[in-house]
Structure 1
Amino acid sequence: MKDYFFLIPVALALGAIALGAFMWSLRSGQYDDLAGAAERILFENRDGPDDTTSAHADKPPHGN
């Protein structure tokens, strides 16, 4: 029975920490653009190089 008097405050403290972390993430804008990440995967990435195969064109394949 003494263990419960120790575990209940620990559980409440962990719950309060989790609630605080969730409230911090809400205030910092983590959930502002929920549709953007879902739509971003459907479109081509235009931030990287245009052709990645040309960088390795002059190197012979492995095994030769």
Structure 2
Amino acid sequence: MSALVYLIPVALFLGLLGLAGFLWALKSGQFEDLDGAAHRVLMDDDEESASERKSDKPEKP
């Protein structure tokens, strides 16, 4: 029974800490673009990255 005196406030504190973290993430815009990462996985950008790699290298004289 005496353990509950410590465990209940700790559980409430951790719950409020989790809620504060969620509200912070919501306010900072972490959940604005939920589909962006899913679409980026499916996009094939090998051609663009190959041309970018060629342009990054200096040309040989």
Count of residue correspondences:
51
Cα drift, residue 45 of structure 1:
3.3
- Write out the 4+ residue segments of structure 1 that deviate beyond 4 Å after TM superposition: none
Fraction of identical pairs, as percent: 45
Question: Structure 2 CA distance, aligned partners of 1:50 and 1:37?
Answer: 21
Cα drift, residue 24 of structure 1:
0.2
Task: Give the partner amino acid of 2:32.
Answer: D
Partner of 2:13: 13
Cα drift, residue 15 of structure 1:
0.3
Task: Give the partner amino acid of 1:11.
Answer: A
TM-align CA RMSD: 2.0
Give deviations 1:28-58, integer Å, cap 9, x for gaps. 0000000111111111236x74178xxxxxx
Q: How does 1:18-37 map to 2 (within 5 A)?
A: 18-37=18-37
Gaps of 5+ in 1: 53-64
User: SS of the residue aligned with 1:18?
Assistant: helix
Q: TM-score, normalised by structure 1?
A: 0.70
